[in-house]
């Protein structure tokens, strides 16, 4: 029994969506081509046999190609083969029409644009080769017919192919472009998130720090930067293992996400160090926030390690005391080290070139 992994299932689903989109465009294209080609063959007095072949190509082949690709191990690769066959069939009908200029040029343009949109130059090169080879064989077999005139009926029946199909191709291309753009933004968002703590990583944190600094200077608003360090984290890892250390960091990040406002930015600054950008806080409010975070971390308990006590040190700096985002970070870091040098498990605010400790009344 074979098993399909989630990634393989997702890839298979996307491949089938690709096949389904090609089927819709192929069916639209062959249907519109039917009337244009049939008009030329009517003027050239072809037998009913050719009209039957044209109907089979227009109304049966799209379904056959779709089913073939859907059942294939690699649907996308199978569909590319079908697109090359499409081009060969196009060469047959261009030869049968005796190179009738208007429908022949429109069909060629449709084939070229569709193949390039589906597989780029690599697919287009093979498709053009198939079109030329099959056209020459068919044209030679028919005795090199040449029909450089076309009726008004042929013109009117060719216009839908030149307009409706191209509009449909544009709509699908735009839809794919929007989806690709959204997917790229999602990939970028994931790349800027810490996969374990589910909060922004240092790269995104530094971007937010710089943009927040500029915004506060422009709008004259308040903001505070908090750096949080788990006390004696190396000792915790050595005594209880890295899994416990990772669990503690996850719990601290959960506390931050639950305690902060939606406008604030928690982030993993590096190692056991976290950071918070808190905007629109007054000094007293941000110190109260630090106190709540400190107490919640102190209340953390590990079910299998009751003797393990978790505490953190917090350094805080106001944007008003900084002349740049890097200076803002540096001053928060100085406040953090002041806490560590004073015994940890506390928080301090950098202010007026000195470090001030908040004492709750």
195 within domain boundaries: no
For tokens 């009344």, the residue is 361
Q: Which of 145, 166, 190 is the last residue of a domain?
A: 190
Q: What is the CATH number of the domain that holds 235?
A: 3.30.70.270
Which pLDDT score, from 0 to 100, does residue 357 have?
46
39 in the same domain as 124: yes
152 in the same domain as 46: yes
Q: Which of 190, 221, 254 is the last residue of a domain?
A: 190
49-58, 74-83, 87-96, 182-191: segment of lowest average pLDDT: 182-191
229 in the same domain as 181: no
Q: How confident is the model at residue 2 (pLDDT cuts 50, 70, 90)?
A: very low
352 in the same domain as 239: yes
- Does 114 have pLDDT greater than 70? yes
Cα–Cα distance measured from residue 249 to residue 233, given in angstroms and rounded to the nearest whole number: 10
Task: Give the tens place of pLDDT for each residue, 264-316.
Answer: 999 988 778 899 999 999 999 999 999 999 999 988 887 677 677 889 999 99
144 within domain boundaries: yes
Q: HSE of 124 in the Cβ direction (CA atoms, 13 Å)?
A: 14
184 in the same domain as 206: no
Average pLDDT, the chain: 85
102 in the same domain as 57: yes
Residue by residue, DSSP assigns 330-349 as HHHHHHHHHHHHTTSSSEEE
Task: Give the tens place of pLDDT for each residue, 308-337.
Answer: 788 999 999 999 999 999 999 999 999 999
Burial 170-187 (b: 16+ CB within 10 A, else e): eeeeeeeeeeeeeeeeee
Cα–Cα distance measured from residue 22 to residue 20, given in angstroms and rounded to the nearest whole number: 5
179 in the same domain as 234: no
Task: Give the tens place of pLDDT for each residue, 8-40.
Answer: 566 667 777 778 888 888 898 899 999 999 999
Which pLDDT score, from 0 to 100, does residue 167 have?
81
226 in the same domain as 179: no
312 within domain boundaries: yes
Cα–Cα distance measured from residue 326 to residue 315, given in angstroms and rounded to the nearest whole number: 15
Q: Say which residue, 205 or 353, is predicted with more confidence.
A: 205
71 in the same domain as 163: yes
Q: Which of 160, 190, 220 is the last residue of a domain?
A: 190
175 in the same domain as 64: yes
Share in percent of the chain as helix, strand, coil (round to 5)? 70, 10, 20
178 in the same domain as 47: yes
Query: Which of 125, 358, 345 is closest to 231 using CA atoms?
Result: 345
Domain containing 33: what range?
A: 6-190
- DSSP E strands, 163-311: 223-230, 265-270, 273-279
Q: Say which residue, 82 or 305, is predicted with more confidence.
A: 82
Cα–Cα distance measured from residue 113 to residue 231, given in angstroms and rounded to the nearest whole number: 62
Percent of the chain with pLDDT over 70: 87
């Amino acid at each position: 029994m074979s098993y399909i992994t989630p990634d393989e299932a997702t890839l298979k689903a996307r491949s089938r969506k690709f096949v389904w989109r090609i089927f819709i465009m192929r069916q639209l294209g062959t249907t519109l081509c039917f009337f244009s080609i049939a008009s030329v063959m009517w003027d050239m007095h072809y037998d009913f046999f050719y009209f039957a072949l044209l109907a089979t190509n227009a109304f049966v082949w799209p379904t056959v190609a779709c089913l073939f690709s859907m059942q294939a191990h690699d649907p996308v690769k199978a569909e590319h083969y079908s697109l090359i066959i499409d081009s060969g069939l196009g060469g047959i009908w261009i030869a049968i029409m005796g190179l009738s200029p208007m429908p022949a040029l429109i069909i060629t343009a449709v084939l070229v644009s569709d193949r390039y949109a589906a597989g780029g130059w690599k697919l287009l090169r093979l498709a053009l080769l198939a079109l030329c080879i099959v056209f020459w064989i068919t044209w030679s077999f028919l005795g090199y017919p040449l029909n450089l005139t076309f009726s008004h009926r042929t013109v009117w029946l060719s216009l839908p192919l030149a307009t409706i199909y191209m509009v449909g191709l544009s709509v699908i291309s735009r839809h794919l472009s929007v989806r690709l753009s959204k997917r790229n933004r999602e990939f970028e968002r994931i790349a800027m998130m810490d996969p374990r703590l589910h909060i922004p990583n240092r790269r995104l944190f530094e971007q937010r720090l710089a943009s927040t600094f500029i915004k506060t200077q422009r709008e004259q608003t308040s903001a505070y930067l908090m750096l949080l360090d788990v006390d004696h984290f190396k000792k915790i890892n050595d005594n209880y293992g890295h899994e416990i250390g990772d669990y503690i960091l996850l719990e601290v990040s959960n506390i931050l996400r639950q305690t902060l406002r939606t406008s604030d930015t928690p982030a993993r600054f590096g190692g056991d160090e976290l950071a918070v950008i808190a905007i629109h806080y007054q000094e007293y409010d941000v110190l109260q926030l630090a106190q709540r975070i400190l107490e919640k971390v102190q209340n953390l308990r590990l079910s299998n390690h009751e003797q393990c006590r978790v505490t953190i040190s917090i350094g805080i700096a106001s944007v008003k005391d900084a002349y740049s985002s890097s200076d803002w970070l540096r001053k928060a870091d100085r406040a953090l080290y002041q806490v560590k040098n004073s015994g940890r498990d506390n928080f301090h605010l950098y202010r007026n070139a000195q470090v001030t400790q908040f004492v709750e009344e």
